[in-house]
């Protein structure tokens, strides 16, 4: 109690405007009721700083942006697998409405830096190969396939893109808190519905006898248990508990999202470890979001020159917000 009273008169460390803005953004994502928690700003600040430090360190590990142009495409095997032809770069990336809006807002900028997210899958197929002077068509081959392209939010420089990526990582962590809180809220709704049904059943079982029947006793016990569970759920949804949920997710940032970089030799057709003479070693940085079923996404930072862009159209490009 004395420590609580003393905390009332202890000067709180002042937060910078940037720190406070970051906290408010993450609270909006996780659950606005966190603002009702006691000293939520000062409680969240050290965890958000630590999580931001880790997020920034993760973002800086990504390979440097690859500029999209014809010369780079001819040399870079990753670009060749992402885009079948140089013109395909303009067709896919140049039509993105987010990039078009960014270049319109930055008329003096010649290049936009952005993260390209894709699914990278290895599929086994039977292909043709030469063995001992004979052509066989039943040789198993591993094929690297990229699909489901998405573009993130553009930035004006590689450093700005790293900073933006760190912010998106924090947003992803806050979304995990949002999902956990939403799960508790769904349980609350289910319990409330079950409790209403149980009370209705008890009223229907009501009789004129002074001694409750076995069914009534069982229903009363069930109502008592459901009420206790509902009270526990309410405790989990009070503002202080919501704040602690966000703190828990922030503390687990290194476990929630991590970066794995793998390498493989791929030919122009996307065949891994083929006997072709044009094999190239490529780097595949993948972000892994830990869930019950982990989500793995290839992430490539790209530099998009203004001349690659196409005139705006009514077609929609990449609708989903991604980490970068």
Parallel, antiparallel, or unpaired: how do β-strands 111-131 and 134-151 relate?
antiparallel
Q: What is the pTM of this model?
A: 0.79
Q: How far apart are CA 287 and CA 85, in angstroms?
A: 26
Distance of CA 149 to the CA centre of its chain: 15
Mean pLDDT (10-residue bins), the chain, 324 residues:
48 76 96 96 94 95 94 94 93 93 94 96 76 66 91 95 95 95 94 87 71 77 89 94 96 93 90 82 92 90 94 56 50
What are the residues whose beta carbons fall under 8 Å from the beta carbon of 185, sequence distance 6 or more? 237
How far apart CA 293 and CA 35 sit, in angstroms, is 31
Choose among 252, 258, 282, 288: nearest CA to 268.
Answer: 282
Burial code (b: 16+ CB inside 10 Å, e: under 16) for 104-120 equals: eeeeeeebbbbbbbbeb
Helix (H/G/I), strand (E/B), else coil: 309: coil
- How many CB atoms sit inside 10 A of residue 48's CB? 25
pLDDT the model gives residue 49: 94
The pLDDT score that the predictor gives to residue 276 is 73
3-state secondary structure of 82: helix
CB-based burial label for 260 (10 Å; 0-12, 13-18, 19+):
exposed
Alpha helices, DSSP H, located in 128-209: 158-204
Quote the tokens at residue 253: 């940032």
């Amino acid at each position: 109690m004395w420590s609580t009273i003393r905390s009332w008169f202890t000067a709180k460390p002042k937060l910078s405007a940037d720190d406070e803005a970051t906290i408010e953004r993450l609270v909006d994502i996780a659950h606005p009721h966190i603002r009702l928690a006691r000293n939520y700003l000062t409680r969240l600040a050290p965890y958000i700083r630590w999580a931001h430090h880790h997020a920034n360190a993760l973002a800086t590990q990504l390979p440097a942006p690859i500029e999209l142009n014809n010369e780079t495409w001819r040399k870079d095997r990753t670009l060749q697998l992402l885009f079948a032809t140089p013109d395909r770069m303009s067709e896919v990336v140049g039509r993105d409405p987010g990039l078009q809006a960014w270049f319109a807002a930055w008329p003096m900028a010649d290049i936009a830096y952005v993260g390209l997210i894709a699914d990278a899958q290895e599929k086994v197929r039977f292909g043709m190969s030469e063995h001992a002077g004979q052509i066989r068509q039943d040789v198993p081959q591993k094929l690297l396939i990229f699909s489901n392209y998405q573009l993130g939010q553009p930035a004006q420089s590689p450093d700005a893109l790293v900073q933006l990526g760190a912010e998106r990582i924090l947003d992803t962590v806050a979304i995990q808190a949002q999902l956990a809180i939403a799960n508790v809220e769904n349980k609350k709704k289910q319990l409330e519905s079950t409790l209403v049904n149980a009370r209705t059943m008890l009223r229907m079982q009501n009789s004129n006898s002074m001694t409750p029947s076995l069914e009534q006793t069982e229903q009363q016990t069930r109502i008592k248990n459901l009420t206790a569970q509902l009270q526990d759920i309410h405790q989990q949804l009070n503002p202080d508990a919501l704040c602690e949920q966000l703190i828990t997710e922030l503390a687990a940032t290194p476990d929630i999202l991590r970066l794995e970089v793998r390498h493989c030799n791929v030919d122009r057709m996307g065949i891994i470890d083929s006997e072709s003479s044009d094999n190239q070693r490529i780097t595949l940085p993948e972000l892994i979001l830990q869930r019950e079923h982990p989500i793995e996404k290839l992430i490539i930072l790209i530099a998009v020159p203004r001349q690659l862009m196409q005139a705006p159209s009514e077609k929609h490009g990449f609708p989903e917000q991604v980490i970068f």
